[in-house]
Amino acid sequence: MMSLDNIKSDNIESDTHYFGSGRVNLIGEHIDYNGGLVMPIAINLGIKGQYKERKDNNICLYSSSHQKQIIFSADNIPSQYDPENDWCNYPIGVIHALYNDGLKINGFDLSFDSNLPEGSGLSSSAAIEVLTAYILLHQAGNPIHLPALAVLCQKVENEFIGVKCGIMDQFAVANCKKDHALLLNCNTLKYEHVPFELDDYSLLVMNSKKPRSLIKSAYNERKAESEEALRILIEARKLNQGQYLVDADMADISIITDPTIRKRARHVVSENIRVRHAATALRMGDLHTFGRLMNASHQSLKEDYEVSGLELDTLAETAQNIIGCLGARMTGAGFGGCAIALVQKKSIESFSKILSHRYLTVTGLNCEIYECQAEDGVRIIN
């Protein structure tokens, strides 16, 4: 690393703006690793990226939400995660992966400016990764294959950053379409854009502001419990080798004797059915049915999969009982992060007041509420 003196230098030639959206999963939670379907949207909150070519051969990374800035030579791209590099590890990981794929990397300034909360389950990490990859490929004049770009960025997060996330986040940021949800099979990467038109309703994202502390251990535990359920069903010949837990039906599950494993399996199987019904409801413009499926998803995550908690339950269940709300659920891996609600536009103000007050009373925390639209994923904005 060099000194930071020449950061933001004036040897700039071109200037283009890009946007990497955050994402929220509408339904299909904790079933991506069980062969199931997810249904995220890209949202209007996200990260702006500004690319400026440099005459020297240095790469300079800057973010308005972080103090740390970095400059290094394009001939000497860091090849592994370094805690010293802080947030810059995300773009560096992507630059390094593209370089390894044969992309010629010249000097540039890349600056980020975001209104997407970080660490709240709205995938700011995927947003910054996908945005960086998109910018570099676009600037190089390379054709951009968005599903492949998502896979590259997931690999960066798994291997360079060291976070074992699935493909949903990067795939959503790369491939989502305005006014549509993305119905995605995370194993086959087969996907379909399903209309998400809300007319008199809005999707509200409710940030619990609760740090997601339990998440890693619980995630691994649930994964292991799902694997155990699958093993039992294969042994009992309810499923064949190579099938997934979502391929079981509700009757099959009753043979599982361990009540905890049975509950986990019940969530997985029922949630996948709910995603299919939710997609049908959206295709028919039936938001009332969609809302009921959101409520059922929350209940299943709370009672059968047990990944909710006081904060997310308070947000979702309070929302469900406020007039003008068609449905609400926790979203993301759980224990903190965000919940979502489908709320009549004219009720948003009263809804927000009641919800915030109740949430503060029960948890002592102030939630944040964002009104979100389904937007295009990563894109050029000028």
Q: Which residues bind Mg ion (CB under 5 A)?
A: 125
* Residue 124 Cβ vs Mg ion, minimum distance, rounded to whole Å: 6
Token digits of residue 356:
């915030």
Partner whose binding site includes residue 90, from ligand ADP, Mg ion, none (CB under 5 to 8 Å by kind): ligand ADP
Determine whether 179 is an active site residue: no
Give dist(CA 175, CA 182) in Å, integer: 8
The letter for the amino acid at 175 is N
Of 169, 247, 252, 304, which residue is the catalytic one? 169
Q: How many residues of this chain bind ligand ADP (CB under 6 A)?
A: 17
Strands 325-331 and 374-375: unpaired
Q: Contact with ligand ADP (CB under 6 A): which of 24, 31, 37, 47? A: 47
Give dist(CA 103, CA 240) in Å, integer: 43
* Residue 126 Cβ vs Mg ion, minimum distance, rounded to whole Å: 6
Is residue 205 a contact residue for ligand ADP (CB under 6 A)? no
Return the half-sphere exposure (C-beta side, CA atoms, 13 A cut-off) of residue 63.
Answer: 19
Residue 344 near residue 324, CB atoms below 8 Å: yes
Is residue 125 a contact residue for ligand ADP (CB under 6 A)? yes
The letter for the amino acid at 334 is G
Give backbone dihedrals phi and psi of 214, rounded to 5 degrees, phi first: -80, -5
Token digits of residue 224:
């292991």
Q: Contact with ligand ADP (CB under 6 A): which of 21, 63, 226, 314? A: 63
Binding mask 83-122 for ligand ADP (x = CB under 6 A): ----x--x---------------------x-x---xxxxx
Give dist(CA 76, CA 315) in Å, integer: 47
Give dist(CA 51, CA 61) in Å, integer: 10
Q: Contact with ligand ADP (CB under 6 A): which of 6, 65, 158, 185? A: 65
Is residue 221 a contact residue for ligand ADP (CB under 6 A)? no
C-alpha of 296 from chain center: 21
Is residue 19 a contact residue for ligand ADP (CB under 6 A)? no
Sign of CA dihedral 88, 148, 143, 40: negative
For Mg ion, give the closer residue by CB, 125 or 363.
125
Partner whose binding site includes residue 378, from Mg ion, ligand ADP, none (CB under 5 to 8 Å by kind): none
Query: By the criterion CB under 6 A, which residues form the site for ligand ADP?
Result: 47, 63, 65-66, 87, 90, 112, 114, 118-125, 128
Q: Catalytic amino acids?
A: 169
